Structure 1
Amino acid sequence: MLIDDNFKNAINDYIYLLEKKYPQKAILKLIGDKYSLSGNERTILFRGITTKNKIISRSSKLASEQELSGNTIHIDCYNTLIAIGSYLNGSTVFVGNDNFLRDASEIHGKIFRTELYEKSLSLIFRYIKTLNISEILFYLDKPVSYSGKLCQDINDMLKEENIKGKAQTCESPDFILKNVDYGYCSTADSIIIDNSKVKIFDLARKTIEFSFNPNFLNLTKIA
């Protein structure tokens, strides 16, 4: 996706109003309408642009591969799989100005009714086996209808690959991930990142970069 001058101007105005602490949804509508932004562009603004203070805070929580060695990783399963699946599906995937990978798709759980979820999982396992991680824990939303099947598939893969770990369904993975107090988390959910007690590893981005040569739209170079 190319960024034209119209969208660049929209980004700059959006940042200006965010820094002035105006309500985000109100800013999104104002800027989106003013610059006649597409739905995709509005989603990129909403998910990918934040304030300078939050950029500093989130960047300080971003963990490297080396830090994972010998540690546990807690994975926000749907968040991670949807980002990877969106890339595989040709949807817009981008790096926000806080340096975390996000998707602009609205597919949500639909990805897991296709072959994309299997491919996304296989890519995660292919990459994660190269890391010296002591334990991998996947958290899935119990209310999502496909979670039970997906959970079983992940547990089967962990067993087949002889990897210590577990997939489990829960009412609120967000609550669990915000309160984890050991190891590292994998998510691009801004609320979890902002409230996490541990550092965050961008598993979706690293997984894609391990298997492909992506040319992500990178808002750190624009905003």
Structure 2
Amino acid sequence: MNNRNRGKNTGDDELFGSPKQTDKLKLAVQDMQYLLSRGYAEKASSELIGNRYRLKTRQIQAFRSASASVAQVEYRKSKQLLITDLKDQTVYLDGFNILILLESLLSEAYIFEGSDGCYRDLSGVHGTYKRVNQTQQSIEWVDLFFQKAQLQKLIWIFDKPVSNSGRIKQIILEYAQGKNLNWEVELEYNPDRFLAENAFIAISSDAWILDNAKNWFNLVEFLIEEEKLHVNLITLL
């Protein structure tokens, strides 16, 4: 696995770095929520809105991931737990989703806060996970959360078909053994469904998981506020 950063793409400052662009994205999220709340399809709605505001592909990806219907936002919020709810609990963590989000945050890539209060990035696995310079620090942030929440157990769930999933499993297990942490790492063929069906408490920013899991916790929000992290944040609420 190569050492590199998971930072901004070339051109991201032009797409996201000015008030003019962020204002357009906020309007796009408002329009998207209006259409989704009335039953319009997500893909068609995002294309329509993207054309209206003349947005580029990565801008469409950003506002689409940040958008949800009014009913979805309310339903997700009704299942969101506080840090005090987690004491002595077993928590399941959406491995690639959270790890890559933390790596992006630490790389000073743009992070987007959506309608549901969750944070999302523009990176992806695309079949292969590559370790970056911020991977170790990201695991340490999860450890910090584990200690402060006083969890009984943390179970990382990774996509088994993704190349290098076995390697990141080994890295996390070696870290946990060195710190005597009650962590497990599991590889699943369908991690989203596994989390929705098996996790009483899930940690993810994936919209489908948030809609289908029993309960969830906003780990990235907690770390940003608790540790006063510097974040290249664009709030699209």
Please give the TM-score of this superposition, normalised by the length of structure 1: 0.88
Alpha-carbon distance in 2 for matches of 1:42, 1:59: 24
Closer/same/farther in 2, CA of residues 196 and 151 from structure 1, 3 Å limit: same
The SS at the match of 2:149 is coil
Q: Following TM superposition, by how much is the alpha carbon of 1:33 offset from its aligned partner in structure 2, in angstroms?
A: 1.4
SS in structure 2 at match of 1:127: helix
Contact 2:94–2:157, Cα closer than 8 Å, also in 1: yes
Contact 2:104 2:123 in 1 (8 A): yes
Q: Which moved more, 1:13-22 or 1:86-95?
A: 13-22
Name the CA shift for 1:11/1:171 in 2 (closer, same or farther; >3 Å): closer
Residues 2-13 of structure 1: pairs in structure 2 closer than 5 A: 2-4=18-20, 5-13=23-31
Alignment check: 8 A CA contact 2:94 2:158 kept: yes
Count of residues in correspondence between the two structures: 218
User: What corresponds to 1:189 in structure 2?
Assistant: 206
2:7 corresponds to which residue?
none
Which whole-Å CA distance do the structure 1 matches of 2:24 and 2:172 have between them?
43
CA distance in 1, matches of 2:138, 2:129: 10
- Could you list the per-position Cα deviations for residues 16-61 of structure 1 after superposition, in whole angstroms to 9, with x for gaps in the alignment? 2222211111111111112111223211221111111111000111
2:181 is equivalent to residue 145 of structure 1: no
Alignment-derived partner of residue 202 in structure 1: 218
Deviations 1:145-181 (A, max 9, x none): 1111110111111111111121121211112101125
CA shift, 1:111, in A, is 5.9
In structure 2, how many angstroms separate the alpha carbons of the residues matched to 1:62 and 1:85? 23
Residue 196 of structure 2 corresponds to 178
Deviations 1:108-147, CA, capped at 9 Å, x for gaps: 5666332222221122213322221001111111111111
Distance 1:141 1:107 in 2: 10
Which digits, 9 at most, give the CA deviation of each residue in 1:40-98, with x for residues without a partner?
A: 32112211111111110001111111100011110111000111111122222121111
Match of 2:72 in 1: 54
From the superposition, tell whether residues 111 and 185 of structure 1 become closer, same or farther in structure 2 (CA, over 3 Å).
same
> How do residues 1-223 of structure 1 correspond to structure 2 at under 5 angstroms?
1-4=17-20, 5-106=23-124, 112-180=130-198, 182=200, 184-197=201-214, 199-211=215-227, 212-214=229-231, 216-220=233-237
Q: Deviations over 1:197-222 (max 9, x none)?
A: 2x1012233234444143632223xx
On the 8 A contact 1:95/1:216 being kept in 2, the answer is yes
**Percent same amino acid among aligned pairs?**
28
Over the residues paired in the alignment, what is the CA RMSD in angstroms?
A: 2.0
List runs of 5+ in structure 1 lacking aligned partners. Answer: none
- 1:210–1:63 Cα change, 3 Å: same
Q: Taking structure 1 as reference, are residues 133 and 24 closer, same or farther at Cα in structure 2, changes over 3 Å only?
A: same
**Separation in 2, partners of 1:25, 1:185:** 26
Give, as a single letter, the amino acid of the residue that structure 2 aligns with 1:105.
S
- Superposition TM-score, scaled by structure 2 size: 0.84
